[in-house]
Chains A and B, each alone.
Chain A
Amino acid sequence: MKLAFWARRAHRWIALVVGVQAFLWMLSGLYMTAIPIELIHGDHLAHVEAEPLPEVAVRADTSVLSERYPDLTGFRLKQLMGQTVYELRQGGKTTLVDSTTGVELPPLDEHQARRLASSFYRGDGSIQSMHLLEEAPSEVAKRPVPLWQANFSDRGHTTLYLSATTGELLARRHSFWRLYDFLWMFHIMDYETRSNVNNGLMRAAASVGLLFAISGIWLLVYSFRKRKAAI
């Protein structure tokens, strides 16, 4: 019949245009739904445990600190590797100060970063390499630098990123996350930043994809039709 004829031609030719993308959508979508997001986030790989602040360790006078750091906009008192520290904020800059002595602490050295990374890590590997990075790699593009990259020797190729200035755990990366990110790139079709869903290619492909779905539904009407209604 005529309509069935056109429905099938439309479905086939549209499939030619978006078929591969439809496959990538389904494959990436299935991966994203089937793998629990907690696993992707790597909650099982690293854990930050905070101890209560010991009052006795806080001796440095904040008014003295205010004088020493005239553009101080605020601070934070926290525990870092058994030591109580002030994290001072001056505009965009952050400095660590020992809360007992008031002495400014240098950025984390490799030994400290290694110890800290190991204390966060919950997997069964060990640190394979440590790198101090002044430029953030693309998998942690938006995190502040400088940062320490701790690579672990486990099956998931876990990498923990720590801030060299504050010792904060900035990100957990591992094979599942990297594959997720890679597939996400195909899912939203932003091959550069992997984050812009408003790109023209995506809009065009989704429009054709919708047409594709409609042509398929249209075709279903014919595909199930009886061969003969009655003899």
Chain B
Amino acid sequence: MKPWIRKLHKWVGLIIAAQFAIWTGSGLIMSLLDHDAVEGRVHRAHPREMPSWPAGMLAPQRVLADAGRPVQTLETAWLADRPVYRLADKADVWLVDARTGQGVIVDAAVAAIIATRDYVGGGRPETPEFLPKANTETRGYDGPAWRVSFSDGDDTTIYLSAQDGRILQRRNATWRLFDTVMMLHFMDYSGRQNFNNPLAILAGSGGLWMALSGMWLLIASFRLSEFTPVRWRRKRNLGIYAPDGTKLRLVESREGDSVFLALGRSGLHLPSNCGGGQSCGLCAVRLRGYAPPSTSSDREHLTAGRLRLGYRLACNLPVHTDLEVEVPGDAGLWVEQTAIVERITAVTPFLREIRLLPSSPIGREFQPGSYLQVHIPDYALPRQHIAHPEEHRDDWGELDLPATLVSKEPIRRSYSLSLPVEKADGHLTLLARFSVGSSSSKRQFVGKGSAYLYSLKPGDPIRFSGPFGDFALRPGDREKIFIGGGAGMAPLRAMIHSRLDQGGQERIHFWYGARHRREAPYTDEMAELALRHPNFTWHLVLSEMAEQGVALIRGLVHEATHEGLLRDHPNLKSCEFYLCGPPGMLSATLKLLRSLGIDDERIAFDDFKI
């Protein structure tokens, strides 16, 4: 149940987050602004004591008789120093002089007197301004009004009804700020006072979901022991091992921490994009010995086979007793390594082979299928720094890149090895795709890793850690079927080279999909391998334009593989599958293989998971 709550919390959060910040921010401002100042009580004079109603005034029955229209109420009032009768009928209100019975008009002079008597402070009144129709500052009243502004620091403005001289509102700068903030809080951007609007209701519903799901996640993610200060908790030893069983380090941990947190406290950061929130699935470790039952988050991110082997998400794995875990990439996890860019080859317009010479020799843990995390510093690169060979000029010309490519903080990006290290004389070979967003939007989005890697020149230093990942060739000589697309070429190519160089005699098939021939890397190399090794066959599948050529197949790679190989294969269940490519291709292929009844155990894949 938890993974979907987490996902929905995240996605609703994406929509609601800004408004939530506005709600709390505006709420804070409204709470900080002094309510008396907002209500205009700071510059309001103490109400004067009412004088006795003078004798000799016109009898009310006379006034009623002279009104010549129905009157619902009649009451005494003072317009500045003049006794008046205030008559009302439904929404209509008018004044009559209490001595003479004449109609009374509230003019600028009397408005100024009333406003000035209501005011205390250093400001001087400006000439009253007549408003035939009330404005937004007189909320709720829409008859004619007088506006009297005062020249004080608070921009005090007093509004009077032009019908009966009543003071309608006392406004000031504080109120205006409050009102703007209130508008943002209510989400009523036109009338400013209707909080029963659909937008607010919708956002409120989203907010309530955030609160409910958040509380659920909170309860589910906190362990009781986390509330005990670290030093009061029992010490536990956390043994860190490499996948080959080498002991790397002993970390002191406290009971109740998650393995992820315990390592984090010791400065050892497992690969993770989400920061230990059980949502990226990168921090898997393998428990040596007894593994606790898997949780829903484990099952969400790890295959049944890996769960059986004892893999669990470190961020969801509490330390209760001494534990021994195998971490991916062993020492590479916390050792930053350096290398020098030796050679850059543009194998297609938007795929670039980058060959690195590591500063110190690298170990045999750099196996085909594993990946490095390249440490990308913050940068601001002028577009000209991204060079490309002359023959790719047209392809690059179609891109609309920003003048400066910026990345504000250091990040890490993962790249698979594209050639076995032994074959590359101890070099690391990466294949980097230039990732750009849709060209329909005005400014093109450029991947931060892409921009950095494409700006490198031979001789430039580069920092990385690794290797990581569990995508690897399985021992044994089962028939192997590689299916890939796009930059998924990299790990598959490394694996194929590795296997052929080992002298593997089993059948090896490689089906690779691209859109155009121009976008398919290493086609000549693959064709040449197929000539040299009779047990290796290579098929290029083009989805958009099948150019002339005998070995070309048009269509989607998984469909083409199905038709050309899998459908009529006599012994599919004993084959091994290695997949790598863009998400759409990968999921379609997995679906196909499952529909063919292939056991998950026989399928290894590496995703560009989002």
Contacts and interface: CB of A to CB of B under 8 A. Distances in A.
Contact of B55 (A19, A66, A222, A228): A66
Interface in A82-130: 89, 91
A153 interface: no
Given A62-B59, A206-B24, A78 B73 contact: yes
A131 B139 CA distance: 36
A1 to B, nearest CB: 6
A145 interface: no
Q: How large is the interface on A (under 10, 10 to 19, 20 to 34, 35 or more residues)?
A: 35 or more
Given A33-B197, A37-B196, A203-B31, A19 B214 contact: yes
Contacts of B18: 217
Contact of A5 (B27, B57, B276): B276
A7 B487 CA distance: 31
Contacts of B28: 203, 206-207, 209-210
Interface in A22-65: 22-23, 25-27, 29-30, 32-37, 50-53, 55, 58-59, 61-63
B4 interface: no
B336 to A, nearest CB: 13
Given A26-B210, A228-B414, A213 B21 contact: yes
B371 A228 contact: yes
Given A73-B52, A230-B432, A27 B195 contact: no
Interface in A169-205: 188, 196-199, 202-203
B10 interface: yes
Interface stretch (B200-208, B495-503, B516-524, B555-563): B200-208
B487 A25 contact: no
Contacts of A20: 215
A135 B75 CA distance: 28
B580 A231 contact: yes
B13 A61 contact: no
Contacts of A36: 196
Given A27-B211, A220-B13, A75 B73 contact: no
B393 to A, nearest CB: 23
Q: Is the interface of B mostly helix, strand, loop or mixed?
A: mixed
A166 to B, nearest CB: 12
A201 to B, nearest CB: 10
A25 B277 contact: no
Given A16-B222, A220-B13, A230 B413 contact: yes
Nearest to B69: A52
Contacts of A216: 13, 17, 20
A77 B606 contact: no
B57 A52 contact: no
A23 B31 contact: no
B279 A223 contact: yes
Given A3-B409, A76-B74, A210-B21, A8 B208 contact: no
Contacts of B431: 231
B211 A231 contact: no
A35 B195 CA distance: 10
A219 interface: yes
Contacts of B414: 227-231
Contact of A6 (B274, B275, B412, B416): B275
Nearest to A197: B31
A26 B208 contact: yes
Contact of A231 (B10, B13, B487): B487
A1 B195 contact: no
B609 interface: yes
B274 A198 contact: no
B25 A210 contact: yes
B206 to A, nearest CB: 9
B211 A228 contact: no
A4 B275 contact: yes
Contacts of B245: none
User: Most B CB atoms within 10 A — which of A30, A212, A214, A225?
Assistant: A30
Interface stretch (B60-68, B246-254, B398-406): B60-68
A74 interface: yes
Contacts of A91: 50
B577 interface: no
A163 B538 CA distance: 95
B77 interface: yes
A219 B53 contact: no
A12 interface: yes
B30 interface: yes
Nearest to B72: A50
B608 interface: yes
Q: Which 8 A-B pairs have the closest CB atoms?
A: A4-B275, A52-B70, A206-B28, A209-B24, A213-B21, A30-B204, A76-B75, A23-B211
Given A8-B274, A213-B17, A217-B21, 5 more contacts: A25-B27, A33-B201, A52-B89, A53-B73, A70-B52
Interface of A: 1-9, 12, 15-16, 19-20, 22-23, 25-27, 29-30, 32-37, 50-53, 55, 58-59, 61-63, 66, 70-79, 89, 91, 188, 196-199, 202-203, 206-207, 209-210, 212-214, 216-217, 219-220, 222-231
19 contacts: A4-B274, A5-B269, A16-B222, A25-B207, A26-B211, A32-B195, A53-B72, A53-B73, A59-B61, A66-B55, A74-B76, A203-B31, A217-B21, A220-B14, A223-B274, A226-B609, A229-B414, A230-B413, A231-B431
Interface of B: 10, 13-14, 17-18, 20-21, 23-25, 27-28, 30-35, 50-53, 55-57, 59-61, 64-65, 70-77, 89, 195-197, 200-201, 204-205, 207-208, 210-212, 214-215, 218, 221-222, 264, 269, 272-277, 279-282, 371, 409, 411-416, 431-433, 435, 447-450, 487-488, 490-491, 580, 606-610
